[in-house]
């Protein structure tokens, strides 16, 4: 992303010189729908970023402009709306409200947002705008919070202000991702480890270009089903707090005591946690075929047990099979549309992208977008304000 160009646009809109912060989108290698079950995930930040240019304003106003929506909003800083407005600016506004509540919000600020992350594709454009805005707003107060805290604040904002009951994965990796690495995160303790991704592979992200409308409601329903599973299982295991605390043997023992749908959801989560740890071992050992096998298993489980895939994602996963250089792949993110992630030998990545694109288009009738990515760094200051 070109900082000089963004600074120029900022200056022509607001005057003055901004500081610029950016935060990346993410792709999840494995560990889907485990974060809100206190489990394990393994995302990477990617090279598509959202940048927020900011400067202090002498008026008590919060002004937010989006280059992509070509739209501006203005709020009275002393009287920020305490509820979402329903517009894209809620991601910035919600962060400003959360920072105000914790005594970190500046009085007046001008913000100019520009993003490279496709919206609604499941690549966490919302986490990126939240994180970049949080760092930008904090900088005006000369305040700094540990990045783990920034991630939590952004997740809280998404839960309470936006109303999406998401887990911590997206915000965490947008804050702390590291180029060339996957981030193995324990979503209960927030302990994490960076595992190098060999330079011989690329993360090829294939966007189905569909997003099914019911996605948000189904997401919240899956969470409730997992919570119901914990309530039922705690009759036999009173100490458990989340599905994280259950082993596959314990679950299987009670397969007859749990309604079939709830059982399937629990089974996915418990086995997916196992897969993340196995996948981490594969990556540490450089076993890309083993990693790819686990990705395929994860996809099948999301399709058949957790039921968050869709026809287009299944087709995208199927048509990848047999293309040279393909180690494995799966749907990534919340599901019901969005993207698959494919682990592909770097030397085959361009040809893979072409082939999967034409196979998918032939099967579905929609031209997909394919992005050849590598793991990138988390949020950062792009340029300080020149005075
Ligand atoms: C969305 C949420 C994440 C996570 C994934 C599913 O991306 O934002 O917290 O729950 O879905 O793994």
Mean pLDDT, rounded, for 349-374: 98
| Mean pLDDT of the chain, nearest integer | 96
39 lines ligand 1 (CB under 6 A): no
The more confident residue out of 271 and 387 is 271
Say whether pLDDT at 337 is over 90.
yes
pLDDT one-digit tens code per residue, 235-252: 999 999 999 999 999 999
Query: How far apart, in Å, are the Cα atoms of 121 and each of 107, 159, 167, 368?
Result: 34, 20, 17, 11
The alpha carbon of 299 is separated from its chain's Cα centroid by a whole number of angstroms, namely 17
Q: How far is the CA of 43 from the centre of ligand 1 (A)?
A: 11
Say whether pLDDT at 154 is over 60.
yes
What sign does the CA torsion over 21, 205, 148, 60 have? positive
Say whether pLDDT at 201 is over 80.
yes
User: What is the per-residue pLDDT for 373?
Assistant: 97
Edge-to-edge order in the sheet of strand 201-211? 326-332, 337-345, 201-211, 369-373
Give the other-Cβ count within 10 Å of 316's Cβ. Answer: 29
User: How far is residue 139's CA from residue 137's CA, in Å, rounded to a whole number?
Assistant: 5
Determine which residue's CA is closest to atom 11 belonging to ligand 1.
Answer: 334
Catalytic residue among 35, 38, 90, 170: 170
Say whether pLDDT at 166 is over 80.
yes
Residues 6+ positions from 98 with CB-CB distance below 8 Å:
153, 156, 157, 161
Q: Which of 27, 29, 30, 35 to mutate to test the pocket of ligand 1 (most atoms within 8 A of CB)?
A: 35
pLDDT band at 206 (very low <50, low <70, confident <90, very high): very high
User: What is the per-residue pLDDT for 1?
Assistant: 67
Determine which residue's CA is closest to atom 8 belonging to ligand 1.
Answer: 166
User: What is the per-residue pLDDT for 105?
Assistant: 78
Whether 170 is a known active-site residue: answer yes
Say whether pLDDT at 35 is over 90.
yes
User: How far is residue 44's CA from residue 50's CA, in Å, rounded to a whole number?
Assistant: 16
Mean pLDDT, rounded, for 286-301: 98
pLDDT band at 385 (very low <50, low <70, confident <90, very high): confident
Where is average pLDDT lowest: 212-216, 219-223, 281-285? 212-216
The more confident residue out of 371 and 144 is 371
Q: How far is the CA of 235 from the centre of ligand 1 (A)?
A: 28
Q: How far is the CA of 171 from the centre of ligand 1 (A)?
A: 10
């Amino acid at each position: 992303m070109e900082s000089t160009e963004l600074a120029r646009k900022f200056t022509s809109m607001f005057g003055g010189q901004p500081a610029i912060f950016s935060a990346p989108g993410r792709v999840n290698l494995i560990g889907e729908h485990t974060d809100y079950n206190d489990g394990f995930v393994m995302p990477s930040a990617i090279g598509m970023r959202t940048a927020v240019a900011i400067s202090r304003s002498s008026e008590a106003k919060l002004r937010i402009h989006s280059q992509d929506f070509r739209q501006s909003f203005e709020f009275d800083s002393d009287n920020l709306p305490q509820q979402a407005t329903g517009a894209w600016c809620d991601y910035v506004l919600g962060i400003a409200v959360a920072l105000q509540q914790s005594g970190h919000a500046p009085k007046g600020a001008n913000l100019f947002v520009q993003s490279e992350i496709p919206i609604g594709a499941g690549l966490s454009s919302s986490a990126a705008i939240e994180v970049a805005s949080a760092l930008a707003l904090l900088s005006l107060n000369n305040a700094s919070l540990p990045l783990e805290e920034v991630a939590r604040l952004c997740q809280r904002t998404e839960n309470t202000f936006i109303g999406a009951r998401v887990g911590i994965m997206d915000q965490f990796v947008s804050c702390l991702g590291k180029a060339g690495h996957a981030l193995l995160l324990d979503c209960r303790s927030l302990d994490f480890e960076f595992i190098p991704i060999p330079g011989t592979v690329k993360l090829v992200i294939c966007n189905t270009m569909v997003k099914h409308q019911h996605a948000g409601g189904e997401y919240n329903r899956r969470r409730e089903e997992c919570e119901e599973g914990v309530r039922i299982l705690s009759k036999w295991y009173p100490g458990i707090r989340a599905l994280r605390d259950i082993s596959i043997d314990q679950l299987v023992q009670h397969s007859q005591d749990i309604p079939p749908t709830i059982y399937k959801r629990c089974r996915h989560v418990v086995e997916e946690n196992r897969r993340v740890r196995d996948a981490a071992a594969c990556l540490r050992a450089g076993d890309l075929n083993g990693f790819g096998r686990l990705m395929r298993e994860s996809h099948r489980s999301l399709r058949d047990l957790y039921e968050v895939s869709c026809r287009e994602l299944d087709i995208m996963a199927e048509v990848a099979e047999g293309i040279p250089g393909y180690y494995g792949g799966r749907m990534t993110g919340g599901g019901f549309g969005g993207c698959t992630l494919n682990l592909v030998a770097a030397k085959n990545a361009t040809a893979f992208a072409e082939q999967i694109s034409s196979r998918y288009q032939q099967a579905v009738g929609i031209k997909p977008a394919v992005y050849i990515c590598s793991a990138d760094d988390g949020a950062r200051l792009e340029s300080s304000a020149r005075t």
